[in-house]
Structure 1
Amino acid sequence: MQKEGKQKAFLEVISTKNQNMSDNKRVTDIQKFIEKFEPSKFKMLSRGIEVRGIKDLNRSISFAKEVIEKLKLKLVISHSAEMAMYGSFEVNYLQH
């Protein structure tokens, strides 16, 4: 019984470590995007960031997609008509 308990604890530590490494990679991708895109206003979200105050939305979204592709980041652009009214779009983590 003790051996099973130790193995379970070990697996939980490994699982937590792998999850933290994955979370760190995701945060790093967002940081790289922010550094390259240089948004004047953005809000951190649990799933990524919301870029705000964009005047030329189509141009900014195109540039954001280029940055993501060029840097090979695991991010995706998300936007809607409602966001467009406020001059914003989201940059979210790519779902596994």
Structure 2
Amino acid sequence: MALMDGSIDGAIVCSSLNLTQYIYGRINVARHLQAHLPPDLRRQAALVKGYDESVEPRLSDFDCVLVPIGTPLSVEPGNFVSVVSGKLPNGKHFTGVTLPNMIDK
């Protein structure tokens, strides 16, 4: 199987479905703000909120990985969530949960 999703450059794989959904949402919010708000408005929003929502989270801070589109993977059968495993282009193995829309069946 290969990975795909139109809005993300691969598949987000984390230790839980909730964390994967959170990271996916944060990336989409950040990209939306980058595309639709000018830098001065993003700066003002960051001053109000105390953080910049237009900055994508670093997946490594959450012990997650971004698996490039087209990377072969295995989907563990019999789970309610999509548990996947495989090998990144750098040779590092990964196992975790991704979103169903990130798997090309």
Give the TM-score taking structure 2 as reference length. 0.25
Give the TM-score taking structure 1 as reference length. 0.26
**Structure with max Cα Rg:** 1
Greater helix share, structure number: 1
Greater strand share, structure number: 2
